[in-house]
């Protein structure tokens, strides 16, 4: 068997993991964000100012060590003890927050009054921090996974499933579509200049980079003989094409239908698609693998028909984006919004159980109703965890008096010009802001680096330590390119 065939077999016929294990992974990234924030607060308490010494290097290394490195280790050498890592990290961070509170609060101050004052606080923002962080971390986790999956140290249960199942990478695909929908023009209530058709043509034009990237990837894969999992999207199809088609179709639908009813259309689309799978020959057509040479439709059936499910996920993302982008100023109002997000996640998870039991299990290959419910439910849960981390950091900022944490809520108060400059400087040094600035480029760069790494390294025969080292080097190269562009103020857009 050739190395290409071995690699294809290595990522094929997998069954995924449990819903609980996927949900467990949602806690790690928020803990990493809290760790980064508390380390900066402790430094500010000790030295009285931020940023760190040698800021260009030290902040990059801090963000990479605290935000990226744990995510790489969590899906490699620490995957089997991840629950222990999360528990220990939670305990350490809770003690640190208690220490910050005790060292900065007057002795006579009661915790109840501190919490009450915090709830009445007002916040100001240019963007919703946890939405930006959610989108960035989905991108970062995707970048890690697309290379890590080719190494034996990456648990097979995390990889994409063959037909049915819930792998971590299966969720990543749905979350990526959901993340794009959160900040689309419709979700941001961006005014449409001119007619609706002009807006549609503008959206149609905006996807040409995705189509071009899809074509480049297709040609590169076929010319180099790069290994590919055909039942993932098909013979010629890839995720770039899916992203482009989903955006165009969703924009077209939202021109005709009211945006405020996106959730209803999402349920309708996914429900009718599932009905078609159950009552027609469509499911048998998608599962059958011996007809791919007939025509382009048979060759790329998974990629083409799964677009329906991804459109439903995208519409749900638009609805959530409309909700979280609503103007709120008080902490209490945002906590109410987080409660509603939690409620939405619980309702969708509750609906998922009977759907899997009586209709059909989760299938990323079909993007069926169960997959749509799970993708949105888990995305909401992950967003909730990040938002909770944001609130914990805001409480710590208020207690400690450190106002310069990057990409977090700011308390509404009169700011001096020096404070504004420090905050802008901290955002300029933030790796999360750097990735947020050039997300498509980061995703493209990760795909290119994945191909180059696979061409130079026999990933199947690497030891665990060497595999983790290669992944860390790969992520550091991706991050440093994006970071340098951010420092130079460069935003790469192709349209």
Express each pLDDT in 119-151 by its tens digit.
Answer: 778 887 778 999 999 999 999 999 999 999 999
Structure tokens belonging to residue 204 = 């149609």
Q: Cα–Cα distances in Å, from 446 out to 105, 119, 215, 242?
A: 45, 41, 17, 18
**Which whole number is the average pLDDT over 164-176?**
96
Q: Which helix (H) or strand (E) holds 123?
A: strand 123-124
**Which whole number is the average pLDDT over 347-372?**
96
The pLDDT of residue 103 is: 84
| Cβ–Cβ under 8 Å, residues 104 and 400 | yes
Distance CA(386)–CA(398), nearest Å, equals 18
**Which whole number is the average pLDDT over 95-112?**
74
- pLDDT digit string, tens, across residues 199-251: 777 778 888 889 999 999 999 888 887 878 888 898 899 999 999 999 999 98
Structure tokens belonging to residue 463 = 């030891």
The pLDDT of residue 366 is: 95
| Cβ–Cβ under 8 Å, residues 140 and 435 | yes
- What mean pLDDT value characterizes the chain? 90
Distance CA(174)–CA(17), nearest Å, equals 16
Q: Which residues contact 138 (CB under 8 A, 6 or more apart)?
A: 172, 175, 176, 179
Closest CA to 449 of 441, 438, 439, 437: 441
The pLDDT of residue 20 is: 96
Q: Residue 236: is it exposed, middle or buried by C-beta count within 10 angstroms (0-12/13-18/19+)?
A: middle
Residue 256 has pLDDT above 60, yes or no: yes
Q: Which helix (H) or strand (E) holds 142?
A: helix 129-148
The pLDDT of residue 108 is: 44
Residue 416 has pLDDT above 70, yes or no: no
Residue 102 has pLDDT above 50, yes or no: yes
Q: Specify the range with the lowest mean pLDDT, choosing from 316-320, 328-332, 487-491.
A: 328-332
Find the largest Cα–Cα distance for the chain.
Answer: 79
Distance CA(339)–CA(345), nearest Å, equals 10
Distance CA(165)–CA(344), nearest Å, equals 23
| Cβ–Cβ under 8 Å, residues 316 and 262 | yes
The pLDDT of residue 157 is: 95
Residue 317 has pLDDT above 60, yes or no: yes
The pLDDT of residue 397 is: 87
Distance CA(212)–CA(363), nearest Å, equals 28
**Which whole number is the average pLDDT over 250-266?**
89
Q: What is the Rg, in whole angstroms, of the alpha carbon atoms belonging to the chain?
A: 23
For residues 369, 375, 381, 385, the Cα torsion angle rounded to the nearest 10 degrees is 180
The pLDDT of residue 221 is: 87
Distance CA(321)–CA(310), nearest Å, equals 16
- pLDDT digit string, tens, across residues 281-293: 999 999 987 777 7
Distance CA(313)–CA(175), nearest Å, equals 9
Q: Please confirm whether the linkage preceding 51 is cis (ω < 30° from 0).
A: yes
**Which whole number is the average pLDDT over 147-158?**
95
- Higher-confidence residue of 433 and 223: namely 433
């Amino acid at each position: 068997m050739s190395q290409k065939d071995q690699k294809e077999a290595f990522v094929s016929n997998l069954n995924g993991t449990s819903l609980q294990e996927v949900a467990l992974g949602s806690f790690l990234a928020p803990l990493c964000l809290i760790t980064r924030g508390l380390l900066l607060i402790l430094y500010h308490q000790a030295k009285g100012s931020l940023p760190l010494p040698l800021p260009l290097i030290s902040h990059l290394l801090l963000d990479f060590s605290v935000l990226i490195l744990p995510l790489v280790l969590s899906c490699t050498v620490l995957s089997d003890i991840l629950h222990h890592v999360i528990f220990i990290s939670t305990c350490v961070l809770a003690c640190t927050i208690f220490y910050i509170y005790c060292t900065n609060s007057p002795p006579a101050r009661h915790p109840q009054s501190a919490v009450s004052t915090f709830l009445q606080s007002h916040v100001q923002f240019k963007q919703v921090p946890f939405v930006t962080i959610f989108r960035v971390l989905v991108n970062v986790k995707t970048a890690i996974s697309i290379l890590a999956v080719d190494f034996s140290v990456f648990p097979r249960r995390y990889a994409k499933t063959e037909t049915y199942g819930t792998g971590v990478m299966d969720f990543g695909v749905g979350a990526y579509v959901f993340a794009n929908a959160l900040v689309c023009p419709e979700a941001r209530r961006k005014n449409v200049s001119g007619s609706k058709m002009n807006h549609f043509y503008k959206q149609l034009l905006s996807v040409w980079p995705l189509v071009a990237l899809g074509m480049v990837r297709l040609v590169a894969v076929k010319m180099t003989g790069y290994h590919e999992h055909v039942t993932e999207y098909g013979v010629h199809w890839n995720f770039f094409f899916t992203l482009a088609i989903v955006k165009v179709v969703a924009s077209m639908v939202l021109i005709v239908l009211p945006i405020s009813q996106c959730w209803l259309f999402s349920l309708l689309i996914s429900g009718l698609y599932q009905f078609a799978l159950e009552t027609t020959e469509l499911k048998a057509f998608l599962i059958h693998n011996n007809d791919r040479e007939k025509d382009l439709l048979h060759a790329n059936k998974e990629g083409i028909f799964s677009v329906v499910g991804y459109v439903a996920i995208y519409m749900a993302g638009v609805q959530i984006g409309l909700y979280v982008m609503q103007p709120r100023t008080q902490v209490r109002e945002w906590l109410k919004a987080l409660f509603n997000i939690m409620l939405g996640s619980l309702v969708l998870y509750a609906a998922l159980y009977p759907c899997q039991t009586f209709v059909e299990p989760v299938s990323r290959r079909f993007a069926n109703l169960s997959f749509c419910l799970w993708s949105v439910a888990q995305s909401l849960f992950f967003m909730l965890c990040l938002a909770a981390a944001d609130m914990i950091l805001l409480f710590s900022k208020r207690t400690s008096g450190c106002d310069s944490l990057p990409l977090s809520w700011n308390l509404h108060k009169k700011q001096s010009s020096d404070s504004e400059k420090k905050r802008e400087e901290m955002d300029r040094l933030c790796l999360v802001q750097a990735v947020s600035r050039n997300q498509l480029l980061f995703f493209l760069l990760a795909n290119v680096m994945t191909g180059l790494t696979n061409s130079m390294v026999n990933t199947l025969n690497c030891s665990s330590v060497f595999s983790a080292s290669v992944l860390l080097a790969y992520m550091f190269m991706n991050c440093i390119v994006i970071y340098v562009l951010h420092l130079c103020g460069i935003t790469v857009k192709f349209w």
